[in-house]
């Protein structure tokens, strides 16, 4: 893997952690408004989709080579933006704006 592919993979992993943080916080609202079976199925599909998207994009960037520091950067991106996305979720009051059919 070339140096440019490594930098691109590192940058993508960090940005993916940030996106993951925002999606997790918005998914949090949906998990507390449904019945138990829906919560389980929706959460499993959510996680599988996000993992699949990450691996498909990494495969396009560098041929699917994954190093442990990619995971560390995903975690770093998630943790660094978690509080920001949590405050944004509360500011937007995403839960109260949903129609009753979605709640």
* pLDDT tens track for 20-42: 988 888 787 777 766 788 788 88
Q: In whole angstroms, what is the distance from residue 28 CA to residue 30 CA? A: 6
Q: In whole angstroms, what is the distance from residue 95 CA to residue 27 CA? A: 10
What pLDDT, in 10s, does the model give residues 49-75? 999 999 999 999 999 888 899 999 999
Token pair, residue 7, equals 């930098």
Q: In whole angstroms, what is the distance from residue 8 CA to residue 64 CA? A: 13
Q: Would you tell me how many other CB atoms lie within 10 Å of the CB of residue 94?
A: 15
| Whether the Cβ atoms of residue 81 and residue 17 lie closer than 8 Å to each other | yes
């Amino acid at each position: 893997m070339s140096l440019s592919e490594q930098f691109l993979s590192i940058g993508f992993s960090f940005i993916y952690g940030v996106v993951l943080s925002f999606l997790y916080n918005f998914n949090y609202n949906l998990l507390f408004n449904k019945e138990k079976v829906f919560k389980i199925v929706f959460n499993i599909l959510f996680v599988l989709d996000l993992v699949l998207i990450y691996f498909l994009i990494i495969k396009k960037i560098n041929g699917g080579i994954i190093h442990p520091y990619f995971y560390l950067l995903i975690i770093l991106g998630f943790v660094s933006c978690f509080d920001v996305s949590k405050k944004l979720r509360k500011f937007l009051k995403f839960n109260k704006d949903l129609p009753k059919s979605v709640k």
